[in-house]
Structure 1
């Protein structure tokens, strides 16, 4: 019987999974299963410019070969773009989002968006992107790993929710998808901690319940940069699954498990799991 916990792993299909990806998948999977919850998978393919042919199916096959079997159907963001547009138009109609004509060149040198189009675009200008009107209010939330977090009002920009190239922005898509799937806890890498204030503001504007958040440390390259597909991180291989799972659990500070089949190793990991 499910406890009501719903978690997820949401990779972008910009390449094959690497060690950092597997760490994120295992952390979210084990936390969900240790809480008798559901673990969902979402393919974040809303940005077609970053999508690599065949990557999504390769990701799904890799997850299964590593013993991580998701609950329900895989969600594909590119099938939800009409809904994203409906929400954007609703936010605009309520005065909580606005069309923006600014170019990158015009905004160069500004740490935060200076608000040029906040009260309407200059005559003759056409909207290029859509921005969310970020409230000037303090935010406090508890991270289950990092403890209490604080974001001071006025330090967050009016962030883009629809880009000039027509693609829907990460912040909007992830908030809508998480809320509508009923996510109760988001377990993800610390690189996304800085995105949390934007997500909380959007959740409040849309009347969504705030999930719990837990941000774990990142797997890094020897030069201190994040392991990522953009940095050409080495993909994990199917025949290395037991070794990679053991390394990922060690990285996450979990109790060591016996080398076995991926499914049996994850059963041990779930039994031992401590966030």
Structure 2
């Protein structure tokens, strides 16, 4: 008997949910129903400083209010650091881990200095300056000291990883309203962090490990993560993990055209509920019923 499709909604409990989360959650539920599939809830709480129990409780409350149903148990990433450590060991054994001591602030400052001097500094699709190596940011003596005395970030040697594969990974995408194959370009992200100094994993690593361990076959998430899929597909190929189909949906924007933030109370689900909004109001606010792209079916 064939396995049923598996989808997941995976918020981070580091703030309160807003209309953008509601849209993504409801869209996942719609696709799961269309495919006669299963819907999982996962809490991406690797940042144990910012993620708090009160936000987790609010997630359950808000999602239940808008009518979302999911399977138990809920997976918390903070309970599975050992799984991500195992994936890191595999990549390290392949010679694909690059250790670094420079902080994100120091990388930004180095990029700003280069820009002020008229020297270009490459940036990733999100606009963050790429890591060019500790040696172009810090003094050699400082690098040696930090390597002896301080924890290091673990980065993927993206160029070496692509060379190991021999061919660029691809993925199936349905977010544009039709099925298409996209060729990944992981190099635009540079040597991404896979484990931070203060956190033993990263979003990129934990999301691909979790999707594989949970048997996720169809990923429905925001269009802001479309280009990050290049790194996810690279990691999946390196770790011999299955590749889901992807559907990157439109974003719910604020009045100025920017992506919603968890700090924006005016679009928060809890605040809207306090003002008397109903679950049907939420569906209307995100225009779920009118979204033709939302009706584009995956292949079962």
- TM bracket, shorter-chain basis: 0.7 to 0.9
Q: Distance in 1 between matches of 2:3 and 2:85?
A: 33
Question: In structure 1, the residue corresponding to 2:190 is in which secondary structure?
Answer: coil
| 1:201 equivalenced with 2:234 (yes/no) | yes
Deviation at 1:252, TM superposition (A): 5.8
TM-score, normalised relative to structure 2? 0.76
Correspondence list, 1:1-275, <5 A: 4-104=4-104, 105-106=106-107, 108-109=110-111, 110-111=121-122, 112-116=130-134, 123-126=144-147, 127-134=151-158, 135-136=161-162, 138-146=168-176, 147-152=180-185, 154-232=187-265, 234-236=267-269, 237-238=272-273, 240-250=278-288, 253-254=291-292, 273-275=295-297
Q: Which is worse superposed, 145-154 or 171-180?
A: 145-154
Deviation at 1:71, TM superposition (A): 1.8
> What count of residue pairs does the alignment treat as equivalent?
256
Confirm or deny: 8 A CA contact 2:46 2:199 kept in the other structure.
no
Question: In structure 1, the residue corresponding to 2:189 is in which secondary structure?
Answer: coil
Confirm or deny: 8 A CA contact 2:90 2:239 kept in the other structure.
no
Confirm or deny: 8 A CA contact 1:2 1:37 kept in the other structure.
no
TM-score, normalised relative to structure 1? 0.83
Structure 1: state its 5+ residue gaps: 256-271
Deviation at 1:175, TM superposition (A): 0.8
Q: Deviations over 1:191-224 (max 9, x none)?
A: 1112101101110111001100000110000111
RMSD: 2.6
